[in-house]
Structure 1
Amino acid sequence: MSHETLTFEHFKLPLENGLYLEGEVRVPVGTAPKPVLLISHGFRGHKDWAFWPEVSGRIAGSGFYTVSFNFSRIAARDADGISPEEAAEAATLSSAALLIQGDQDRDALLLQHAGFREQAPQHRYLSIRGADHTFGTVDPYEGSTSALNEAVTSTIAFLQEKLA
């Protein structure tokens, strides 16, 4: 895996009703076109929460453009994941997907992950042994963990296989 020098730029785009979209773009140096990955945080997070800046930088350093951003508002209905109807719709994705889950996550999310495996066996699934919802990391961020390293390394390998 290469670790390229990155160009980093912050952006803030005005939206309606006084809202805005704020984020960062990381671009490997060079002029060759590369796939762009949108990196979005979870329900209670933000683009700078714990491991997200490092993950965005590591993926960009492996040769992809990354865009991380903060949502103007959080639209999730609850902290237990998506509805069964939304899960069924997600199972119909025609593009390849990699779903990574720590095997020590909350029960509701583990059940949701198992449902995805059953409804959409065409996708790739990775269960990281001993990992929780945040792969053993905390906020404020104290550095990577072996579980997070496994998740990021697997993600980069998947992206390189499917997009490079």
Structure 2
Amino acid sequence: MSNQVIAAQRFGIDLGGGHFIHGEVKAVDDGTVKPVLVLSHGFKGHKDWGFWPEVSRRFAEEGFYTISYDFARIHARNEGQDERVVAAVSTVSREVRDIEAVVNAVRKGELPFANEADPERLAILGHSRSGSSSIIYAAEHPGVGAVVVWNGGSTPALPAGGNGEQLSYHDQAIIADIESNEARFDVANKFQSLSVPALLVQGTNDNERLLAHNKRLQEIAPDQHFVSIAGGDHTFGAVHPYEGATRELDEAFAETVQFLRTVY
């Protein structure tokens, strides 16, 4: 579908309390109802980081109603909100809530080109930490049809550093969130409990912690789908500012489309 004209329109979701999610929908505006794909960026990224603008367009060309968005922490940071406010919306719990807000907006028909979207065929894709958040969300919300994780899927880790006042507000918020949600954030347990198909795409040159978690998930849920990208690092060789697709990124994209085709 690469010869199709892609329509794109930005949107905002008011979460209350001065918090917003800003995103963009891309789709072939041809009047046909399409499966929905929600793309969630990594912890250090944003919806316009590196490969995301191109990847979201390419998924739209493949026939998906594609949503890319910034987690609420991005708006808070860009608006120069107080450090403690930014910290409070930077937790895993808040990330899961942000995914829920986007999915709910799809189901209510509140996003652009709503007539092009089929909420009954909805998949979520998360990179890095949002891969773990996507697994947690899908395990807790049976309406999701499929989960894709790019270089993620580990149980959230505590930030490195000292204790007490030596920690930033950011690290304190993340630590408190993880420590109070130990069972909920057991990603291996959540992954094993999934009742929907999942695909984990993992670069072989990613960090050892993620590789170890990926191996663990393969052991406990062998019926799920796993793909190794030879030579792929945490961003499949892509950089920001973007310099174009890499072989590893193209392979991750192709494997993801093939998987989603089997689901929808």
Same fold (TM over 0.5): yes
- For the pair 1:50 / 2:151, whether they are aligned, the reply is no
- For the pair 1:75 / 2:99, whether they are aligned, the reply is no
The offset of 1:132, in angstroms, is 0.4
Q: Which shows bigger deviation, 152-161 or 79-88?
A: 79-88
Q: Partners in 2 of 1:135 and 1:21 — Cα distance?
A: 26
TM-score between both structures, scaled by the size of structure 2: 0.58
Secondary structure of the structure 2 residue equivalent to 1:91: helix
Q: Which residue is equivalent to 2:220?
A: 119
* 1:61-116 deviations in Å (ceiling 9; x for gaps): 01010011100133249x79425722211221111111101000000010111111
- RCO comparison, higher one (Cα < 8 Å, 6+): 1
Q: Which shows bigger deviation, 129-138 or 84-93?
A: 84-93
Runs of 4+ in 1 over 3 A off after TM superposition: none
The offset of 1:27, in angstroms, is 1.2
Q: Which residue is equivalent to 1:108?
A: 209
1:117–1:125 contact (8 Å) kept in structure 2: yes
Answer 1 or 2: which has greater helix percent: 2
- For the pair 1:150 / 2:236, whether they are aligned, the reply is no
Secondary structure of the structure 2 residue equivalent to 1:140: coil
Gaps of 5+ in 1: none
Secondary structure of the structure 1 residue equivalent to 2:37: strand
- For the pair 1:86 / 2:159, whether they are aligned, the reply is no
Larger radius of gyration: 2
Q: Which residue is equivalent to 1:25?
A: 25
RMSD of aligned alpha carbons = 1.7
Q: Which residue is equivalent to 2:13?
A: 13
Equivalenced residue count is 161
Q: Partners in 2 of 1:72 and 1:82 — Cα distance?
A: 21
Q: Which residue is equivalent to 2:198?
A: 97
Aligned-residue identity in percent: 42
- For the pair 1:134 / 2:235, whether they are aligned, the reply is yes
Gaps of 5+ in 2: 74-89, 94-128, 130-151, 157-184
